[in-house]
Amino acid sequence: GAVVSQHPSRVICKSGTSVKIECRSLDFQATTMFWYRQFPKQSLMLMATSNEGSKATYEQGVEKDKFLINHASLTLSTLTVTSAHPEDSSFYICSARRKATNEKLFFGSGTQLSVL
Amino acid sequence: EDQVTQSPEALRLQEGESSSLNCSYTVSGLRGLFWYRQDPGKGPEFLFTLYSAGEEKEKERLKATLTKKESFLHITAPKPEDSATYLCAVHNNAGNMLTFGGGTRLMVKP
């Protein structure tokens, strides 16, 4: 089956620093990737939709200058949490859909961000 | 706006005690309904896709069914390793994204 690799799995950083999370589709091309945020015991909240070669589309309430998304190729999207603060601590998950299909999303394994 | 509601929020079962999880939805044109399993600290793992009312899919102890308003995930004779959060999501005809329900946390005790 298709694999989505997300890295790092866990990161601890100081308040005010920036953190980059990578999401790669290993064996398929993904025109669209999605970034989710998940708080403990809650469901996934869509943050933004990332399209290859164009600007990301952010959901209401998500600061685009805070959460920078780059989708540089058909297999790689990155999420950079800029000037992280403790309230940004959360579980971030990426997902990808095969190019030009309506099939299921494949999810990465998630990144647990802890900001001290 | 698409909405997905899952119930119950949490479910405790004894090993072997069959039950069902519910996913109620409203969507502007259903392209697909998805069930995922999520273990703590992990990303969701795909289970099933259902596309039209009346469709059913099975995998080991799990069976998913779909009507025009809801989907059920039936768990037959569950085992402790079935303990996880089960997420339901819908994909509408208009957009690219999935709308997720709040999930059901299933705990199966030996």
Q: How far is CA A1 from CA A25, B33, B85, in A?
A: 11, 19, 22
Give pLDDT, residue A102.
Answer: 62
Rounded-to-integer distance, Cα A49 and Cα A92, Å: 14
Model confidence pLDDT, tens digit, residues B44-81: 999 999 999 999 999 999 999 999 999 999 999 999 99
CB contact under 8 A, A42 and B46: no
Which secondary structure element, helix H or strand E, spans residue A19, and what is its range?
Answer: strand A19-25
pLDDT band, very low/low/confident/very high, at A54 (cuts 50, 70, 90): confident
Whether B40 has its CB under 8 Å from any CB of chain A: the answer is no
Strand A67-73 relative to strand A76-81: parallel, antiparallel, unpaired?
A: antiparallel
CB contact under 8 A, B103 and A43: yes
Model confidence pLDDT, tens digit, residues A61-97: 999 999 999 988 889 999 999 999 999 999 999 999 8
Give pLDDT, residue A72.
Answer: 82
Give pLDDT, residue B104.
Answer: 97
Using CB atoms, pick whichever of A4, A41, A105 lies closest to residue B98.
A105
In angstroms, the separation between the Cα of residue B67 and the nearest Cα of chain A is: 19
How far from chain centre, in Å, is Cα B13? 17
Whether B86 has its CB under 8 Å from any CB of chain A: the answer is no
Q: What percent of chain A has pLDDT over 70?
A: 94
Contact between residue B51 and residue B29 where contact means Cβ atoms under 8 Å apart: no
Give pLDDT, residue A32.
Answer: 87
Sign of the alpha-carbon torsion through A54, B4, B73, B57: negative
CB contact under 8 A, B102 and A95: no
Rounded-to-integer distance, Cα A28 and Cα A4, Å: 9
pLDDT band, very low/low/confident/very high, at B31 (cuts 50, 70, 90): confident
Whether B105 has its CB under 8 Å from any CB of chain A: the answer is yes
CB contact under 8 A, A109 and B42: yes
